[in-house]
Amino acid sequence: MAPMTTTTAGGAARDGSSAVDGPADSPFVRACRRQPVPYTPVWFMRQAGRSLPEYREVRAGVPMLESCRRPELVREITLQPVRRHDVDAAILYSDIVVPLAAAGVDLDIVPGTGPVVAEPVGTLDDVARIGPLDPADVSYVDEAVRLLVGELGATPLIGFAGAPFTLASYLVEGGPSRTHARTKALMYGAPEVWHALCARLAEITLTFLRVQVAAGVSAVQLFDSWAGALSEADYRRYAMPHSAAVLGGLADAGVPRIHFGVGTAELLPAMGEAGADVVGVDWRTPLDVASGRIGPHRAVQGNLDPCVLFAPWPVIEAEVRRVLAEGAATPGHVFNLGHGVLPETDPEVLTRVVELIHTASAR
């Protein structure tokens, strides 16, 4: 197979020849579609912020939700890891609770804690108080995406949203939870309330993602961070139908759909069936094993343990090469971490990892 030309973050070809035709022809999008690529593309969950000193500088004194509502700030934070690391895709700087706040839910993102909901949901009346999302209420997201698409050139931009189960868990628990006890109590004890809540959240999520697609993102990722708390049977009964409603609602959007969860080894077949084009895999399951569970019609994304980045370089290099080898045995592979970048990660290590992935996987 003849090598393909690809671009750096600024759109210039790596081999010095002409650039690719745009984000749709980028290695990232091609890998998502299980098409030939010149090298394994890479981006990192939570690359926009977290470990970067330049992020901490521009975010100083600005609350999290407020920072997500300022298009120029979103633009700058989203671009920072692309400039620094030369990753193959940018991901929109935002938070999964942004559309909930826009839909009228009284919540805040508390530093050191995460999203905190003023009045947790437990009844049908509580669900009824959650309004539908009007695209005009997230016009700042539309503006930020358009700013970024204009500046990124051939580098694709990934939009994202939280999956209904994970969003519902925050709303029912009132914040983060290790046991999800209230969530499961509502699921099992009041399934009519649970499904009404998740159906409303699926509508909100789909609207939020459609806003991003209409503004020009090249792919979307649905984060189901807490899905690993469920058995496969419960996932299929209580979570999968609502994620499928979101992913299915984007079937004609023309962009790859990525579905990711943590601790989901036993859920991978069902997550693939929910309608994604790419299934994200955390660090617990080898990519080739995961791909066998997901099936040949979907690419995989992942799955270096984020903590490996704190090891000596020879260990990091060996682990990166292992993930690349396992990914090479799948129908399509986008390199990523098995979860998000940890705040203490050395940015120089991330840059070096990107360089290694590009050179070691060159076809």
Give the catalytic positions in this structure: 46, 50, 59, 95, 170
DSSP state of 5: P
Cα–Cα distance, 163 to 358 (Å, whole number): 31
The region, left, alpha or beta by phi > 0 then psi within -120 to 50, assigned to residue 288 is alpha
Q: How does strand 257-261 pair with strand 114-117?
A: unpaired
Q: Across the chain, where does the E strand assignment appear?
A: 90-91, 107-110, 114-117, 157-162, 219-224, 257-261, 278-280, 299-304, 333-337
Burial 267-298 (b: 16+ CB within 10 A, else e): bbebbbebbbbbbbbbbebbbeebbebbeeeb
Residue 167 contacts residue 160 (beta carbons within 8 Å): no
DSSP state of 239: I
- The number of angstroms, rounded, from the C-alpha of 197 to the middle of its chain's C-alpha atoms is 22
Residue 297 exposure: Cα atoms within 13 Å on the Cβ side: 7
Cα–Cα distance, 52 to 185 (Å, whole number): 39
Cβ–Cβ contacts within 10 Å for residue 203, how many?
A: 19
Cα–Cα distance, 256 to 265 (Å, whole number): 22
- Please name the amino acid found at residue 305: D
Cα–Cα distance, 67 to 76 (Å, whole number): 11
Cα–Cα distance, 210 to 212 (Å, whole number): 5
